[in-house]
Amino acid sequence: MDFSIIEFLKHIFLGIVQGITEVLPISSSGHVELVKALIGLESDDNIIFLILLNTGSLATFIIIYFKRLLELSKSFFVYIFKKSKRKDNYVNLIYLLKVLIACIPAGIFGLFFKQIFEESLANYAILVSGIGLLITATVIYYVSADNFSEAETNISWTDTLFIGLAQAFAIVPGISRSGMTTSTALKRGNGISSALNFSFLMYIFISIATTGLLVVELIQEGSSISGVQYTYYLFAFLAAMIATYIAYKLIFNIFKSGKLRYFSYYCFAVGLLAILLFII
169-223 pLDDT, tens digit per residue, is 988 888 999 999 999 999 999 999 999 999 999 999 999 988 887 777 767 766 6
Taking the CA atoms of residue 6, residue 243, residue 214 and residue 118 in that order, the dihedral angle to the nearest 10 degrees is -70
Q: What is the pLDDT along the chain (280 residues), one digit of tens a residue?
A: 678 898 899 889 999 999 999 999 998 888 887 888 788 776 545 667 777 888 999 999 999 999 999 999 999 999 999 989 999 999 999 999 999 999 999 988 877 776 776 666 667 878 888 999 999 999 999 998 888 888 889 999 999 999 999 999 988 888 999 999 999 999 999 999 999 999 999 999 999 988 887 777 767 766 666 678 788 888 999 999 999 999 999 999 888 887 888 999 999 999 999 999 888 7
175 contacts 137 by C-beta, under 8 angstroms: no
pTM: 0.90
Which pLDDT does position 197 carry in this prediction?
Answer: 96
Cβ neighbour number for residue 123 with a 10 Å cutoff: 10
Handedness of CA 231, 234, 236, 238 (dihedral sign): negative
Across the chain, which distance is largest between two alpha carbons, in Å? Answer: 67
Query: 114 vs 49, 110, 207, CA distance in Å?
Result: 19, 5, 15
Which pLDDT does position 205 carry in this prediction?
Answer: 94
Residue 59 to residue 214: CA distance in whole angstroms: 16
Short-list 128, 120, 74, CA closest to 96: 74
Which pLDDT does position 221 carry in this prediction?
Answer: 65
123 contacts 117 by C-beta, under 8 angstroms: no
52 contacts 238 by C-beta, under 8 angstroms: no
Cβ neighbour number for residue 75 with a 10 Å cutoff: 21
268 contacts 133 by C-beta, under 8 angstroms: yes
In sequence order, what are the residues at sequence separation of 6 or more whose Cβ sits closer than 8 angstroms to the Cβ of residue 92? 71, 72, 75, 76
Which pLDDT does position 275 carry in this prediction?
Answer: 93
Residue 53 to residue 14: CA distance in whole angstroms: 8
Residue 219 to residue 121: CA distance in whole angstroms: 22
How many CA atoms lie less than 13 Å away from 54 in the CB half-sphere?
21
Residue 198 to residue 185: CA distance in whole angstroms: 9
| 3-class secondary-structure state, position 147 | coil
Residue 163 to residue 215: CA distance in whole angstroms: 27
Residue 122 to residue 31: CA distance in whole angstroms: 16
